[in-house]
């Protein structure tokens, strides 16, 4: 199968290739270029840009993105919770998120869902799962800020930028909403300014979602972080897309199989109408999604 469109962004080069496509066999990319191999079935998606599938490095599939995700989690048995998680993963896949790093579940259900998508008939995103969190009663996230706010020492920012550490900011949020935590709302401008300073200093930054923890962060919210948060801290459209594909795949330890459109990698492909390098908001206009070569969204 040769999937083609008007433009292709491979996740590495800072420009699009005109009229290129991706040749897929058995779920893997065998070639990327302007012409299909002999005998290949051609799927021409028209005036679209082909991109690597997006990678969200921080989600919680066990949380339902409601006003009380913890209460709902406690009230659900494992069977019901697993189906809820599957629905959340499918919601993410529908907007082009083909890899999810799940950072905390219950009873290793994220691993169960990972194996269900990997070995079953159901098309789903790749799941990189941490399993249940290790914490203490009343621990984890009890406080994010000191009494003095979030002012940053420029020397510390420079040291962090020079360390090679990748910084994941859970900046994806539904447009027109605000964080439910008052302290975060009050300091959001300073948080963004600090990340902009880190980016100018050369830090490697990716945007993630922390999806599921509040109603403002459903599991398909990541693209709003690409078009909103990453642009707001000074990234070009190409830099924002690389951060959410190639760099994010490296963060998750799956760069050998995901993050770019290259021969040998899994055929995780997002097709959007228009050119997101010219207008990053085009990333929201999804035409087709393929996960490991299997179509999840698109024309039949």
CATH class of 54-135+146-258: alpha beta
CA atoms within 13 A on the CB side of 17: 18
Nearest to 234 by CA among 291, 273, 195: 195
Q: Which residues pair with 44 in a beta bridge?
A: 4
Instruction: Yes or no: say if 295 and 288 are a contact pair by the CB < 8 Å rule.
Output: yes
Instruction: Yes or no: say if 268 and 126 are a contact pair by the CB < 8 Å rule.
Output: yes
CB atoms within 10 A of CB 55: 32
Topology of domain 1-52+259-300 in CATH is Urease, subunit C; domain 1 (2.30.40)
d(CA 56, CA 172): 10
Q: How far is CA 145 from CA 90, 174, 190, 191, 261, in A?
A: 34, 23, 12, 11, 40
Q: pLDDT (tens digit, 0 to 9) for every residue of the chain, 300 residues total?
A: 999 999 999 999 889 999 999 999 999 999 999 988 778 899 999 999 999 999 999 999 999 999 999 999 999 999 999 999 999 999 999 999 999 999 999 999 999 999 999 998 999 999 999 998 877 666 664 333 455 566 778 888 889 899 989 999 999 999 999 888 887 888 888 889 999 999 999 999 999 999 999 999 999 999 999 999 999 999 999 999 999 999 999 999 999 999 999 999 999 999 999 999 999 999 999 999 999 999 999 987
Domain with CATH 3.20.20.140 in the chain: 54-135+146-258
d(CA 116, CA 97): 17
Characterize the bridge pairing of strands 42-44 and 17-18.
unpaired
What is residue 280's three-state secondary structure?
Answer: helix
Domain with CATH 2.30.40.10 in the chain: 1-52+259-300
């Amino acid at each position: 199968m040769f999937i083609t469109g008007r433009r292709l962004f491979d996740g590495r080069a800072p420009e699009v290739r005109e009229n290129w496509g991706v040749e897929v066999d058995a779920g893997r990319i065998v070639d990327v270029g302007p012409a299909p191999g002999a005998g290949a079935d051609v799927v021409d998606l028209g005036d679209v840009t082909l991109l690597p599938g997006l990678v969200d490095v921080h989600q919680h599939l066990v949380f339902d993105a409601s006003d009380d995700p913890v209460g709902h989690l406690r009230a659900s048995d494992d069977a019901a919770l697993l189906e809820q998680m599957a629905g959340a993963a499918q919601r993410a896949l529908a907007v082009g998120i083909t890899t999810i790093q799940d950072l905390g579940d219950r009873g290793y259900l994220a691993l169960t869902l990972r194996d269900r998508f990997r070995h079953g008939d159901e098309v789903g995103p790749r799941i990189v799962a941490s399993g249940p969190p290790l914490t203490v009663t009343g621990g984890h996230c009890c406080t994010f800020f000191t009494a003095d706010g979030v002012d940053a020492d420029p020397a510390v920012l420079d040291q962090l930028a020079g360390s090679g550490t990748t910084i994941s900011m859970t900046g994806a949020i539904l447009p027109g909403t605000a964080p439910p935590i008052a302290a975060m709302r009050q300091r959001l401008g300073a948080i963004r300014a600090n990340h902009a300073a880190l980016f100018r200093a050369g830090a490697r930054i990716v945007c993630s979602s922390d999806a599921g923890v509040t109603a403002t962060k459903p599991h398909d919210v990541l693209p709003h972080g690409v078009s909103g948060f990453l642009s707001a801290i000074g990234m070009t459209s190409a830099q924002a897309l690389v951060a959410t594909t190639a760099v994010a795949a490296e963060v998750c330890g799956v760069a050998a199989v995901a993050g770019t459109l290259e021969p040998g990698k899994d055929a995780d492909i997002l097709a959007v109408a228009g050119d997101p390098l010219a207008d990053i908001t085009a990333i929201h206009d999804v035409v087709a999604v393929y996960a490991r070569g299997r179509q999840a969204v698109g024309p039949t």
